[in-house]
Homo-oligomer: A and B are copies of this chain.
Amino acid sequence: MNLLKERILSDGRAINADVLKVDSFINHQVDTVLMEAVAEDFARHFKDKGITKIVTIESSGIAPALLTAHELGVPLVIFKKKASRVLNGSLLQTEVTSFTTNSTYELTASPKFLKSDDHVLIIDDFLANGEAVTGAIRLLRMAHATVAGIGILIEKSFQPGRKKLEEAGFEVYSLARIKEMSTGHIEFID
């Protein structure tokens, strides 16, 4: 998606070979016009997949996921990051370790909002090692829901997330695929 790639080049900051800051337009300050364009792109791409629900992981994916849900006319379900396991057993949970932030959390969702006939589109801002998305897929499997696709704003294609997800049979649709980065330099695939 050219609009997003151009914005990453103008306002993103490659801190080093691994860290890209997009806090001025995606995950701290949010440009709603850009997010609307992102959502329209996702909705167009996935419109024939019978999507019944959008799922995202709090909190940076909420903005694009909400607008995509609005475009497709389906509810959004926000998976929560809890510090520890909830003991009452009424929630779906799976442990996720983020290599990027070196932190571990219990990805948590209520089974009330995930049905076996749901076709779910997972939306997130970044795909790197794929730990958050594969955690979301584990929760969706516990609910016997179908993963209809994965929509990503920025993919670090030099990390193994896409490969792992594709090998597991999932479609990954990323709007900006970064081939490589270094301080002040960003190169896209294509």
Q: Please list the residues of chain A having a beta carbon within 8 angstroms of any beta carbon in chain B.
A: 23-24, 27-33, 35-36, 58-59, 62-63, 66-67, 69-70, 73-78, 80, 109-110, 112-113
Contact = CB atoms under 8 A, between A and B. Distances in A.
Contacts of A113: 24, 28-29
Q: How many copies make up the complex?
A: 2
A35 B76 CA distance: 11
B76 A29 contact: yes
A63 B67 CA distance: 9
B30 A66 contact: yes
Contacts of A58: 58-59
Contact of A70 (B36, B69, B74, B110): B36
Given A59-B58, A59-B59, A62-B62, A30 B67 contact: no
A75 B26 CA distance: 10
Contacts of A30: 66, 69, 75-78
A32 B62 contact: no
Nearest to A80: B28
